[in-house]
Amino acid sequence: MVMLGTQFLLLLVSFSAKWVTSTGVGPCPRIKYLDNFNISAFTGHWIEIERSFYLMELISSCVRMDLSQNFKGNINVSITSKSRWSGVFSISEGIATVSKKHPSIFVYKVISTLPKAVSRYLPGAGSYQVIKTDYSTYAVLYSCTNFSFATYPLANTDLVWILGRQKEISAEIRSEIYDFLAFYQIDSERLILAQNLNCN
């Protein structure tokens, strides 16, 4: 019990530290929209490779995402993850609606029937942009929120999510992604490798 308490405290401390580094000064960067984004090529099975920190990190591993286009042209999202504590797999479901701004931007809504205790740690509702993908190997999702004061955005907090069709991506692709993020001054130092061991 005491052990668990200490661990939890450490996790909380590292959480606040990461949270600080994921907050940038000024408004969210404007990332160029992908040309000819092909939604149907983007659907299918994805495996979490790296992510910037969010609370789910505390409890999840083996994150898998399945995307299928529904009859309305939006995307049904099913996210499977394994609890690091109990080893139990759980599924969260949601719908990603194509934004009017651009087909590579999705507004995600959770329609999960999971117990609240679990679902509140999953990536939440919000706007996600596919900022880079080759469809067959990797995809980079980005979500950013401005913190404004009197309508002037003073700071932003963002989330970077690197997905792969396989459990790993090559060093070349990884450095291409990091260069791309650096170009927009998105810090890749804070990206953490996802846990993909013993996932079956």
Stretch of 34-42, 57-65, 99-107, 191-199 lying at the interface with ligand NAG (CB under 6 A) = 34-42
Residues 148-177 that bind ligand NAG (CB under 6 A): 153
Report CA 84 to chain centroid distance, whole Å. 18
Nearest to 141 by CA among 87, 63, 83, 62: 63
Smallest separation (angstroms) from ligand NAG to the CB of 117 = 22
41 binds ligand NAG (CB under 6 A): yes
Considering only residues 42 to 71 of the shown chain, the ones binding ligand NAG according to CB under 6 A are 68, 70
CB of 174 to ligand NAG, least distance (A): 24
Judged by CB under 6 A, the residue of 22, 28, 52, 96 near ligand NAG is 28
CB–CB of 24/40 below 8 Å? no
| C-alpha closest to that of 158 among 5, 21, 43 | 21
Q: Does 146 bind ligand NAG (CB under 6 A)?
A: yes
CB 109 within 8 Å of CB 125: yes
- CA–CA separation, 52 and 191 (whole Å): 4
